[in-house]
Amino acid sequence: MSKDPLVIFTPSGKRGNFPVGTPVLTAARQLGVDLDSVCGGRGICSKCQITPSYGEFSKHGVTVADTALSEWNSVEQRYDDKRGLKKGRRLGCQATIQSDVVIDVPAESQVHKQVVRKRAEAREIIMNPSTKLYYVEVAEPDMHDPSGDLERLVAALRREWNLPALEADLGVLRTLQKALRKGEWKVTVAVHLGDAVFSPRIIQIWPGFYEGTLYGLAVDLGSTTIAAHLCDLQSGEVVASSGIMNPQIRFGEDLMSRVSYGMMNPTGSDEMTKAVREGMNALFVQIASEAGIDRNLIMDAVFVCNPVMHHLFLGIDAYELGQAPFALATSESISLRATELDLNLHPAARVYILPCIA
pTM > 0.85? no
Positive or negative: CA dihedral 278, 281, 283, 286: negative
Do 143 and 77 lie in one domain? The reply is no
Residue 125 pLDDT greater than 90, yes or no: no
What are 287-333's pLDDT values in tens digits? Answer: 999 999 999 999 999 999 999 999 999 999 988 888 888 889 998 99
CB neighbourhood size of 151 (10 A) = 10
pLDDT at 64: 94
CB neighbourhood size of 163 (10 A) = 19
Residue 89 pLDDT greater than 70, yes or no: yes
Do 223 and 171 lie in one domain? The reply is no
pLDDT at 184: 95
Closest CA to 189 of 220, 215, 214: 214
Do 137 and 155 lie in one domain? The reply is yes
Whole-angstrom distance, CA of residue 94 vs CA of residue 71: 9
- Rounded mean pLDDT of 195-213? 91
Mean pLDDT of the chain: 89
Among candidate residues 207, 232, 253, the one where a domain is terminated: 207
Do 349 and 227 lie in one domain? The reply is yes
pLDDT at 124: 65
Closest CA to 317 of 349, 269, 283: 269
In a domain, residue 314? The reply is yes
pLDDT at 256: 87
- Rounded mean pLDDT of 78-90? 89
The CA-to-CA distance between both ends of the chain, in Å, stands at 44
pLDDT at 2: 67
Provide the domain count of the chain: 3
**Which range, of 125-129, 255-259, 308-312, averages the lowest pLDDT?**
125-129
Closest CA to 243 of 297, 203, 290, 205: 290
CATH number of the domain residue 233 falls in: 3.30.420.480
Do 252 and 285 lie in one domain? The reply is yes
Residue type, 214: L
Do 62 and 17 lie in one domain? The reply is yes
In a domain, residue 200? The reply is yes
In a domain, residue 120? The reply is no
Is the CB of residue 104 less than 8 Å from the CB of residue 64?
no
Do 34 and 103 lie in one domain? The reply is yes
CATH number of the domain residue 159 falls in: 3.10.20.880
Give per-residue burial for 273-301: e unless 16+ CB within 10 Å, then b: bbbbbbbbbbbbebbbeebebebebbbbb
Do 252 and 310 lie in one domain? The reply is yes
In a domain, residue 305? The reply is yes
In a domain, residue 121? The reply is no
Residue 190 pLDDT greater than 60, yes or no: yes
In a domain, residue 116? The reply is no
Among candidate residues 40, 74, 109, the one where a domain is terminated: 109
pLDDT at 114: 56
Q: Which residue has the higher pLDDT, 135 or 36?
A: 135
The alpha carbons of the chain give a radius of gyration, in whole angstroms, of 25
Do 235 and 346 lie in one domain? The reply is yes
**Which range, of 32-46, 92-106, 186-200, averages the lowest pLDDT?**
32-46
Do 184 and 226 lie in one domain? The reply is no
pLDDT at 203: 94
Whole-angstrom distance, CA of residue 295 vs CA of residue 84: 23
- Rounded mean pLDDT of 154-175? 92
Residue-wise DSSP of 58-107: TTTTEEE-TTSBPPP-HHHHHHHHHT---TT-EETTT-BB-S-EEEE--G
Whole-angstrom distance, CA of residue 132 vs CA of residue 123: 22
Residue 117 pLDDT greater than 60, yes or no: no
**Which range, of 47-51, 55-59, 332-336, averages the lowest pLDDT?**
55-59
Do 223 and 346 lie in one domain? The reply is yes
- Rounded mean pLDDT of 331-350? 92
In a domain, residue 141? The reply is yes
**Which range, of 112-126, 149-163, 221-235, 292-306, averages the lowest pLDDT?**
112-126
Among candidate residues 49, 74, 109, the one where a domain is terminated: 109
What are 58-73's pLDDT values in tens digits? Answer: 888 899 999 999 999 9
Do 201 and 271 lie in one domain? The reply is no
Is the CB of residue 127 less than 8 Å from the CB of residue 133?
no
Whole-angstrom distance, CA of residue 221 vs CA of residue 211: 32
Residue 267 pLDDT greater than 60, yes or no: yes
pLDDT at 273: 95
In a domain, residue 123? The reply is no
Going by pLDDT thresholds of 50, 70 and 90, the confidence category of residue 111 is: low
Cα within 13 Å of Cα(275), Cβ side: 26
CATH number of the domain residue 69 falls in: 3.10.20.30
- Rounded mean pLDDT of 227-240? 90
DSSP character at residue 29: H
Quote the domain boundaries for residue 36: 6-109
